[in-house]
């Protein structure tokens, strides 16, 4: 590779090579065209040698071309920022005002200016860089800084970070347990074929009665209004707002029983179906919400109108843009294929006259979309009010997706914030030899810092709302993301400002009293896990990964599990215990053509060995139920060991990890996978499986009773 191109890539944060996360790491060299492509997308031309030289020079001048950076992220023990001024400026001409964003207080500063001895000539002017050291003990949070030099003012944000993220006292000082729950999968005798916020409220009460303190939820963010079958909770159209499908229609204040007269059979059919019928359920709910909105708009309940106006003010421009996007999409999808990037140019810009005119002429429709968010927020808050009433000491453990769908309101509202014509994904590995295209928008790290990380902060706050803990999906994205050009199959890693990102996460964690967990399954950079541990960001652990010899040896003993971890038997992407035992997951991979005959045979042989090792681990830990001891080796999966789910849950619950999350799929003997990574609905019904037992019958289910008893022996 050309030395200049390598130099530019290193400076701007584009990987020219990388290793995968395999047992024997394989190194990949990134093609020059990919490097040049991303250099241009990040704002640095790299078409030829002259362009690269200019881009290198421009990069070195970046900091010298503005007096203050948009944001300076610092430790609460070392508060400072730098200022670029002309060499003729005297410190006596320098004034600072600092106002706390937390309480509006003006801070009387004790500070000192130091000459860094750094100089730079831009054009005909020589500049110097000062370092301003602040000696005040500033509380964790954000501060608006205004610097005045010779009657000219400049502004920046000062972000003061704690040493570590917030730790829930119960988790820090003891051990907690709870459930990992896919809310949409909840079956109840009153919901309409998909779990809703009333189900969540009831499940919170169930947790209170059985002594659980935490509920891990799938992402709850709003999905595509016009394509409800695009059901992945990890590909939303906005991570700032909730999915209206979780609204319990019968608890909307404007709902009338007559609204569903004649539709009872349809609702019962929704409930009876094995899989969630998004294509029917969501539009049906929307029609009833439209009726409710018309009553809301005409009946003018003063208190409810006041609550609505307050909600709209609080959510502000973000809500307006989401509603405008949904209304536009509703209109355009009838005639335009390809999502908002295929719209006419004037509609691609949310601030254009065409969009403003559209919003003016479609006010009622836009208000309806805002109303749906208002009601979803109200019901979510109402459900979460039961957390303290039920005595849960942690509460909801929410999930923040790594990205947002490219055909989304987030990208439409601020497309310049994201790396254009590209999407986040995963690099090649042993399972996906060409990598994975997730088609998720990836922040442009330079633009993100220029806007003082405000979009990142908003997303964190929105998903910490009502949360005692937050899972950061693919937490390595704080440091680097694998991004793929739309027209290519391979991409490379783009570097983010890890120091800033992890410290902003720590600030928001403390301000919102929200425990942080990082999902770090995949290709993890060297030193990354240590950095998370230093910030008290807990890890994720699963039974199937806690193995000796990189997954080929014995199951790790419970007392060797990581302490600062949220541990479970598996995840929504892994086979439930009974499915794993019989090897049905191996059969699915073969049936779908995702594995060869040789790979399938090898997988069955390994599974036989793994089953024996699992039985051995349960024997050595002495966790079998007294009335259901092990009966044999159950060779070739010929039988399902009675009591094994109790043994396994007790085994993992007895681990050193601070938090254990039980999965109802394991407890209730589910034999089918919730999500099969790398497949779409044409191959596998991802995100559509319902739990086999309704909420109303759960507490009397013998498997549930026995498993809770087993878990509570260890927690």
Residue ranges of the chain with pLDDT lower than 70?
Answer: 1, 22-23, 430-433
**Beta carbons within 10 angstroms of residue 48's beta carbon:** 11
* C-beta separation of 639 from 654 below 8 A: no
Q: Name the domain boundary from 11, 31, 62.
A: 62
Distances (CA, A) of 168 to 223, 502, 515, 517: 31, 18, 6, 12
Q: Residues with Cβ < 8 Å from 413, sequence gap 6 or more?
A: 318, 321, 322, 325, 350
Angle, to 10 degrees, between the axis of helix 363-389 and the axis of helix 353-361?
Answer: 80
* C-beta separation of 323 from 362 below 8 A: no
* 376 in a structural domain: no
Distances (CA, A) of 602 to 4, 430, 579: 47, 15, 18
Tally of residues, the chain: 715
Whether residue 99 is found in the same domain as residue 136: yes
Q: For residues 571 and 496, what is the distance between their CA atoms, to the nearest angstrom?
A: 28
Helix (H, G, I), strand (E, B) or coil at 555: strand
Token couple for 339 = 């999502």
Which residue is associated with the tokens 């881009």? 55
* 10 in a structural domain: yes
β-sheet bridge partners, residue 86: 127
* 396 in a structural domain: no
Q: Supply the CATH number for residue 99's domain.
A: 2.60.40.10
pLDDT of residue 23: 64
- The tally of domains found in the chain comes to 2
Encode 674-698: b = buried (16+ Cβ within 10 Å), e = exposed: bbbeebeeeebbbbbbbbbbbbeeb
Give the distance between the most distant pair of CA atoms in the chain.
87
* 559 in a structural domain: no
Whether residue 54 is found in the same domain as residue 81: no
Please give the backbone phi and psi of residue 646, each rounded to the nearest 5 degrees, phi first. -65, -45
Q: For residues 176 and 661, what is the distance between their CA atoms, to the nearest angstrom?
A: 9
β-sheet bridge partners, residue 494: 14, 481
Closest CA to 460 of 479, 475, 450, 447: 475
595: region left, alpha or beta (phi > 0 left; psi from -120 to 50 alpha): beta
In degrees to the nearest 10, what's the CA dihedral of 206, 208, 213, 216? 20
Q: Name the domain boundary from 116, 136, 161.
A: 161
Distances (CA, A) of 98 to 9, 69, 146, 150, 572: 37, 15, 6, 18, 46
β-sheet bridge partners, residue 176: 659
What range defines the domain where residue 115 resides?
77-161
Structural element, H or E, at residue 542 = strand 538-542
Listed in sequence order, the DSSP H helices in 351-408 are 353-361, 363-389
Q: For residues 443 and 449, what is the distance between their CA atoms, to the nearest angstrom?
A: 10
pLDDT of residue 535: 98
Q: For residues 292 and 251, what is the distance between their CA atoms, to the nearest angstrom?
A: 11
* C-beta separation of 136 from 110 below 8 A: yes
Whether residue 91 is found in the same domain as residue 116: yes
**Beta carbons within 10 angstroms of residue 118's beta carbon:** 14
Q: For residues 500 and 128, what is the distance between their CA atoms, to the nearest angstrom?
A: 24
* C-beta separation of 663 from 576 below 8 A: yes
Angle, to 10 degrees, between the axis of helix 32-41 and the axis of helix 3-12?
Answer: 40
* C-beta separation of 50 from 431 below 8 A: no
- The DSSP 8-state label assigned to residue 62 in this structure reads G
Token couple for 45 = 């031309």
* 588 in a structural domain: no
* 670 in a structural domain: no
pLDDT of residue 632: 87
Whether residue 55 is found in the same domain as residue 91: no
Token couple for 166 = 């917030």
Whether residue 95 is found in the same domain as residue 150: yes
Q: Name the domain boundary from 11, 30, 62.
A: 62
Helix (H, G, I), strand (E, B) or coil at 418: strand
β-sheet bridge partners, residue 125: 122
β-sheet bridge partners, residue 429: none
β-sheet bridge partners, residue 214: 178, 395
Whether residue 109 is found in the same domain as residue 132: yes
* 660 in a structural domain: no
Closest CA to 625 of 508, 527, 707: 707
Q: For residues 713 and 715, what is the distance between their CA atoms, to the nearest angstrom?
A: 6
Closest CA to 460 of 393, 469, 451, 326: 469
pLDDT of residue 589: 93
Please give the backbone phi and psi of residue 566, each rounded to the nearest 5 degrees, phi first. -100, 115
Q: Residues with Cβ < 8 Å from 598, sequence gap 6 or more?
A: none
* 417 in a structural domain: no
The span from the first CA to the last CA of the chain, in angstroms, equals 56
Q: Answer positive or negative: Cα dihedral of 574, 579, 582, 588.
A: negative
Q: For residues 158 and 155, what is the distance between their CA atoms, to the nearest angstrom?
A: 10
pLDDT of residue 430: 64
pTM of the model: 0.96
Helix (H, G, I), strand (E, B) or coil at 139: coil
532: region left, alpha or beta (phi > 0 left; psi from -120 to 50 alpha): alpha
């Amino acid at each position: 590779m050309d030395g200049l191109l390598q130099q530019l890539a290193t400076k701007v944060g584009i990987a020219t090579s990388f290793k995968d996360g395999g047992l024997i790491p394989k190194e990949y060299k990134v093609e020059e065209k990919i490097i040049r492509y991303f250099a241009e997308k990040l704002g640095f031309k790299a078409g030829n040698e002259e362009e690269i030289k200019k881009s290198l020079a421009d990069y070195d001048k970046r900091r010298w071309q503005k007096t203050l950076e948009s944001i300076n992220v610092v430790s609460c023990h070392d508060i400072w920022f730098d200022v670029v001024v002309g060499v003729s400026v005297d410190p006596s001409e320098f004034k600072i005002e600092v106002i706390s964003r937390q309480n509006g207080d003006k801070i009387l500063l004790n500070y000192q200016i130091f000459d860094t001895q750094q100089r730079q000539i831009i054009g005909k002017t020589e500049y110097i860089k000062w370092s301003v050291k602040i000696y005040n003990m500033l509380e964790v949070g954000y501060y608006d800084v205004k610097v005045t030099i010779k009657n000219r003012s400049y502004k920046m944000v000062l972000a003061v970070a704690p040493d570590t993220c917030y730790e829930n006292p119960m988790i820090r000082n003891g051990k907690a347990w709870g459930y990992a729950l896919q809310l949409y999968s909840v079956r109840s005798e009153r919901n309409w074929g998909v779990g809703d916020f009333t189900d969540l409220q009831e499940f919170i009460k169930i947790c209170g009665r059985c002594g659980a303190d935490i509920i891990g939820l799938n992402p709850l963010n709003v999905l595509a209004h016009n394509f409800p079958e695009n059901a992945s909770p990890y590909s939303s159209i906005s991570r700032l707002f909730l999915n209206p499908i979780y609204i319990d229609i019968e608890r909307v204040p404007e709902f009338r029983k007559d609204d569903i007269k004649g539709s009872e059979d349809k609702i019962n059919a929704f409930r009876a179906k094995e899989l969630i019928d998004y294509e029917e359920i969501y539009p049906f709910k929307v029609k009833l919400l439209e009726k409710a909105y018309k009553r809301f708009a005409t009946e003018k309940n003063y208190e409810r109108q006041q609550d609505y106006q307050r909600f709209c003010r609080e959510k502000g421009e973000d809500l307006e843009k989401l509603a405008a996007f949904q209304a536009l999409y509703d209109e355009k999808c009838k005639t335009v294929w390809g999502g908002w990037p295929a719209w006419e140019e004037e509609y691609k810009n949310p601030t254009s006259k065409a969009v403003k005119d559209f919003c003016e002429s479609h006010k009622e429709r836009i208000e309806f979309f805002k109303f749906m968010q208002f009601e979803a927020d109200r019901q979510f808050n109402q459900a979460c009010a039961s957390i303290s009433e039920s005595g849960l000491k942690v509460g909801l453990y929410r999930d923040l997706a790594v990205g947002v769908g490219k055909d989304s309101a987030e990208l439409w509202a601020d497309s310049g914030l994201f790396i254009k014509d590209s999407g986040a994904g995963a690099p090649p590995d042993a399972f996906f030899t060409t990598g994975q295209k997730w088609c998720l928008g990836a922040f442009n790290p330079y633009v993100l810092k220029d806007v003082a990380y405000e979009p990142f902060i908003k997303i964190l706050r929105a998903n910490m709302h009502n949360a005692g803990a937050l899972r950061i999906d693919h937490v390595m994205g704080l440091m680097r993301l694998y991004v793929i050009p739309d027209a290519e199959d391979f991409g490379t890693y783009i570097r983010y400002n890890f120091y800033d990102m992890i410290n902003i996460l720590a600030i928001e964690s403390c301000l919102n009293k929200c425990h942080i967990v990082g999902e770090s399954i995949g290709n993890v950079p060297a030193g990354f896990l240590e950095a998370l541990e230093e910030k008290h960001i807990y890890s994720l652990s699963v039974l199937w990964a806690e193995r000796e010899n990189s997954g080929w040896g014995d199951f790790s003993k419970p007392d060797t599990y990581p302490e600062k971890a949220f541990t479970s038997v598996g995840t929504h992407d892994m086979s439930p215990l009974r499915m794993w035992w019989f090897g049905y997951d191996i059969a699915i991979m073969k049936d779908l053509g995702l594995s060869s005959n040789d790979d399938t045979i090898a997988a069955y042989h390994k599974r036989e060995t793994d089953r024996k090792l699992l039985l051995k681990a349960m024997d050595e830990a002495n966790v079998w139920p007294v009335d259901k001891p092990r009966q044999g080796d159950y060779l070739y999966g010929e039988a399902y060991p009675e009591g094994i789910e109790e043994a396994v849950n007790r085994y993992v619950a007895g681990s050193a990890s601070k938090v254990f999350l039980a999965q109802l799929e394991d407890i209730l003997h589910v034999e089918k996978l919730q999500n099969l990574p790398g497949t779409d609905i044409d191959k596998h019904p991802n995100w559509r499986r319902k739990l086999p037992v309704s909420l109303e019958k759960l507490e009397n289910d013998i498997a549930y009773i026995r498993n809770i008893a087993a878990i509570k022996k260890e927690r």
